[in-house]
């Protein structure tokens, strides 16, 4: 929720999927520009959600940035190999996250 509040404060329109399944529903039904995805989610994990997004022709081109407390090299590499464009470790700096989101949006355009 900190990310959502911080991005909304900066003027971004943010949809929040509190579970991986809800996030997938939103990605499939809304016009999403970029997804910030945690690895640790209720009822599923972010890696599985990222794979589902990248396997779906309707969502595969949405940039994904992982934001996670899991910061070992194997997790970061796994996220990137699944198709994420970036992996940000918690704790994080909001200015850095916003800069990475800006880059992700430019890459998509």
Verdict on whether the full-model pTM lies above 0.85:
yes
Helix axes 46-55, 73-81, angle to 10 degrees: 20
Q: Which residues, 6+ apart, have CB-to-CB distance to 96 below 8 Å?
A: 88
Dihedral (Cα; 26, 107, 64, 67), 10-degree rounding: -120
22: CATH: 3.40.50.2300
How many domains does one find in the chain?
Answer: 1
Q: Domain of residue 42: give its range.
A: 2-108
Give per-residue pLDDT as tens, 27-82.
999 999 999 999 998 888 999 999 999 999 999 999 999 999 999 999 999 999 99
Give per-residue pLDDT as tens, 15-27.
999 899 999 999 9
State yes or no: pLDDT of 108 exceeds 80. Answer: no
What's the pLDDT at 16? 92
């Amino acid at each position: 929720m900190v990310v959502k509040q911080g991005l909304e404060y900066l003027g971004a329109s943010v949809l929040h999927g509190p579970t991986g399944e809800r996030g997938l529903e939103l990605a499939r039904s809304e016009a999403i520009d970029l997804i910030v995805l945690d690895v640790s989610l209720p009822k599923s994990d972010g890696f599985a959600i990222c794979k589902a997004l990248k396997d779906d022709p309707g969502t595969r081109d949405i940039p994904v940035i992982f934001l996670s407390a899991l910061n070992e090299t194997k997790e970061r590499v796994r996220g990137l190999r699944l198709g994420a464009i970036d992996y940000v470790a918690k704790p994080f700096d909001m200015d850095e996250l916003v800069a990475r989101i800006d880059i992700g949006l430019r890459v998509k355009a």
